[in-house]
Amino acid sequence: MKKSLVVLTGAGISAESGLKTFRDGDGLWENHKVEDVATPEAFASNPALVLKFYNERRKAAAKANPNAAHKALAELEEYFNVHIITQNVDDLHERGGSSNVLHLHGELSKVRSERNPSQIFDIGSEAINVGDKAEDGSQLRPHIVWFGEAVPMIEPAMEVCEQADVFLVVGTSLQVYPAAGLIRYVPKGSPKYIIDKFLPESAENDKNIVFLEGAASLVLPILKKKLIEEFL
């Protein structure tokens, strides 16, 4: 049986595909703090602004292409039972060839009814605007988990982490919970690696984590070879 490789990814893995991360740089969008447009309160008070933000991000994500890091993870499926848990709302893992992707924070290419969260629609790269309604007559909203909202996919993600033989974290500042806490569900004896340009503060004191410093698209293909040699 193949060993289980569980990978938690964040905005850093898509940075080299040209998509902006949240906390590198100024963290601003048209002078709004990104966090301020990603809340239910912002959507209630200024829906047009929030929809514009996601319409722009949806378009940018559709234009971006998967990079060597996304592809290396897809190639690892030949050797491991790979589960990807991503905080990213782009679909670059899927387009890079990964078949097992759990989106913790939702997906840009989907929208849903504001009233009925189970009414979800694929819209690809299209824009939605104020007045665009679902079949139940309520306003469409992005299928995104906003700050202050529940994270329905966290339970299945925890279960996946509990089964990890090897755990890998790529391109996340590990500042947003509950995603940042998932590493605690990984069995003690399973090797853990973090690939990032900087070691996330919350991982600084954990001696069981191997930190590999650098750009994901350079480091992941190298780690891929090492994992294949070491664990097969």
Query: CA dist 35 to 4, 39, 41, 44, 128, Å?
Result: 34, 7, 11, 15, 20
Stretch that binds ligand APR, among 47-55, 56-64, 191-199, 203-211 (CB under 6 A): 191-199
Among 2, 24, 63, 116, binds ligand APR (CB under 6 A): 24
| CB atoms inside a 10 Å sphere around CB 18 | 12
Among 105, 141, 192, 224, binds ligand APR (CB under 6 A): 105
Residue 57 contacts ligand APR per CB under 6 A: no
* Contacts with ligand APR, 65-94, as mask; x by CB under 6 A: ----------------------x-------
Q: Extract the annotated binding site for substrate.
A: 54, 57
In whole angstroms, what is the distance from residue 112 CA to residue 141 CA? 5
Q: What phi and psi, each to the nearest 5 degrees, are found at residue 94?
A: -60, -45
In whole angstroms, what is the distance from residue 2 CA to residue 23 CA? 36
Residue nearest to ligand APR (CB): 12
Q: Is 93 a catalytic residue?
A: no
123: which 2 tokens? Answer: 């819209």
Give min distance, CB of 146 to ligand APR, in A: 8
Beta bridge partners of 164: none
Residues in contact with ligand APR, counted by CB under 6 A, come to a total of: 22
Residue with smaller CB distance to ligand APR, 109 or 173: 173
User: Is 91 exposed, middle or buried, given 0-12, 13-18 or 19+ CB atoms closer than 10 A?
Assistant: buried
Among 76, 215, 223, 227, binds ligand APR (CB under 6 A): 215
Stretch that binds ligand APR, among 49-57, 128-136, 167-175, 181-189 (CB under 6 A): 167-175
* Contact criterion met (CB below 8 Å) for 73 and 223: no
Catalytic residue ranges: 105
